[in-house]
Amino acid sequence: LLSHANRRRARAKTLLDAVTGRKSRSYADQRLVEEITRAQRLKQPITAVFVDIDQSRPINERYGAKAGDSLLKSVADTVAHEARFNDLLARFAGDQFIILASGAHSRDGVTAARRIRAAVEALKLDFGDGLEVDVTASVGVATILPEGSAATASEEGDYLRDEARKSVLMAKERGRNRVVCVGTVKLGEETPPAEESV
């Protein structure tokens, strides 16, 4: 009985990120496959919104790890507030978050991404020296309409996530604090040109 309870607690810990209290990457990866499978069955799109905090390293270096954790928690809470109630938000890695929005088209993802970017930019954080620290985020958006073809749900999920990550990298390359969307992608086809929104 005790070992079962310990296993359950250990599993629960792996589902949540310890710093932000949001879902973990492993949970998001698992849910992405489930959501792709569901989207294949319902013939509906799924959108991934990737949020990457701009220049978080200088905050960590200047104010320390505790301030960095506070930054992550503040941004996670802000992103959660701007996402739809039924969207999945998870900390992906370091200073990156992913939102999985089932049934959302790319225009819905861009609308949410714009809100998120503006809300993060509006954050004013004070880490104890009386100076407000400005925060911004770059946001990437990609949508897939899973076809349930020869591609597995896992492959389509990986592809969607990778395209959203590429979009956020484009946003950073274009000057940070912006939204880039590659639109609706299809496994095995060339990615459409990215559209930018500040």
Give the pLDDT mean for 140-145.
Answer: 94
Give me the pLDDT at residue 4, please.
59
Other beta carbons less than 10 A from residue 31's beta carbon: 18
Q: From residue 5, give the alpha-carbon distance in Å to each of 8, 16, 43, 45.
A: 5, 17, 39, 38
Mean pLDDT is lowest, of 22-26, 62-66, 139-143, for 62-66
The two structure tokens encoding residue 197: 């929104």
Give the pLDDT mean for 16-27.
Answer: 95
Give the pLDDT mean for 120-129.
Answer: 89
pLDDT band at 5 (very low <50, low <70, confident <90, very high): low
82-117 pLDDT, tens digit per residue, is 998 889 999 999 999 999 999 999 999 999 999 999
pLDDT above 60 (res 13) = no
Domain count along the chain = 1
CA atoms within 13 Å, Cβ hemisphere of 173: 10
70-81 pLDDT, tens digit per residue, is 999 999 999 999
Would you list the DSSP string of 44-111? --EEEEEEEETTHHHHHHHH-HHHHHHHHHHHHHHHHHHS-TTSEEEEEETTEEEEEEET--HHHHHH
Give the pLDDT mean for 160-173.
Answer: 95
pLDDT above 80 (res 176) = yes
Computed over every residue of the chain, the mean pLDDT equals 88
Q: What is the CATH number of the domain that holds 54?
A: 3.30.70.270
- Name the residue range of residue 19's domain: 2-197
